[in-house]
Amino acid sequence: MSFPQLKIAHMMPKVPVFQGGMGVGISLSGLSSAVANAGGVGIISGTGISVDEMRTHIRKAKEMVKGAGYIGVNVLFAMNDFAEKMKAALEEKVDFIISGAGISRDMYAWGRQAGIPVLSIVSSAKLARISERLGAAAVVVEGFEAGGHLGTERPLFDILPEVVEAVSIPVLAAGGIMTGGDIAKAISLGASGVQIGTRFVASEECDAPLAFKQKYVDASKKDTMLIKTTVGLQGRAIMNNFTNLLTTSDKLKIKKCHDCLKNCSYRFCTLDSLIKSVEGDVENGLVFAGARVDEIKEILSVQQIIDNLTVEYQEALTQ
């Protein structure tokens, strides 16, 4: 049994898998193009890079994609450069824009004007309905099991059926999707496809340094924790020296404020701590990861990850 055909606007990927948009510098042209070439949908994260860098990665990814692969850009509404990044991505004619950490009426209008679909990351049926009404081409419903910033304390498979019932547009399931069996369960609950982040970090083509990927491979079940970031949301990260400091200090020294967030607690610099880890210092920076990171035992090629998901999906259907 092959995967059901996912269709969002003009996009009809061979595999109904979107790769999560992970900043800072985790999912750029390398990872996104590899996922697109393997039959999924690649996403470049615009978070923490300049507009020019983002444009360069979009162009590079498009050059690297062979055939009819799809590349989109994730832009966070919570960032000050949200509008600038979104307009630049539209000018570069990406296949779609995906946005989380808030909803803007403007972004759907800009997408319509450019003829490019806009997707929303949501954590409730209410937000999904609002997104559809404003013009979202699809929604990604993200559960509590996700890595990075969390918009809910509820598990994915509790929220998913409510969102599917609330909207008529395609719904992608995200947060803790690790195996083909998870994909089968999500589709059985009405999802049109899934979004996977954590598993793709431990891939050969991921843009993160080897030390960052190895942190995923080495993580055990008890190694992740929730921290309150300066965005005002809980975030799931792998424990290290930095998370220990966060739990023992009220305020950490900020060397330089990037003025990147619309609203910031200034307790520490989330952007700086993410940049530090992606530069290779995985003990003194933030390493976001999903709740099931301990299930990752090795770094594989993106193609091998997709192949494994396909086999596991088929096995799940025969059980």
Residues of the chain with pLDDT > 90: what percent?
A: 67
10 Å CB burial of residue 158 (0-12, 13-18, 19+) is: exposed
Q: Alpha-carbon distance 318 to 315, whole Å?
A: 5
Q: Alpha-carbon distance 206 to 197, whole Å?
A: 11
The partner residues of 119 in beta bridges, in order of sequence, read: 98, 138
Query: Sorting pLDDT into bands at 50, 70 and 90, what band is 255?
Result: low
Sign, CA torsion 288/36/102/124: negative
Count of beta carbons in the 10 Å neighbourhood of residue 179: 18
The partner residues of 195 in beta bridges, in order of sequence, read: 18, 174
Query: Sorting pLDDT into bands at 50, 70 and 90, what band is 230?
Result: low
Does the structure show a pLDDT above 80 at 129? yes
Rounded to an integer, the average pLDDT of 17-21 is 95
pLDDT at 172: 98
Cis amide bond preceding 24, omega within 30: yes
Q: Alpha-carbon distance 202 to 26, whole Å?
A: 10
Q: Alpha-carbon distance 128 to 303, whole Å?
A: 31
Lowest mean pLDDT among 180-194, 224-238, 304-318: 224-238
Q: Decide which of 227 and 54 is more confident.
A: 54
Residues of the chain with pLDDT > 70: what percent?
A: 90
Q: Take residue 281 and report the two structure tokens written for it.
A: 């210092």
pTM of the model: 0.93
Q: What is the mean pLDDT of the chain?
A: 90
Does the structure show a pLDDT above 70 at 248? yes
Sign, CA torsion 116/76/165/314: positive
Q: Alpha-carbon distance 200 to 35, whole Å?
A: 9
pLDDT at 257: 63
| Nearest Cα residue to 73 out of 65, 64, 59 | 59
Domains and CATH numbers, the chain: 17-207+297-318 (3.20.20.70), 210-293 (no CATH)
pLDDT at 264: 55
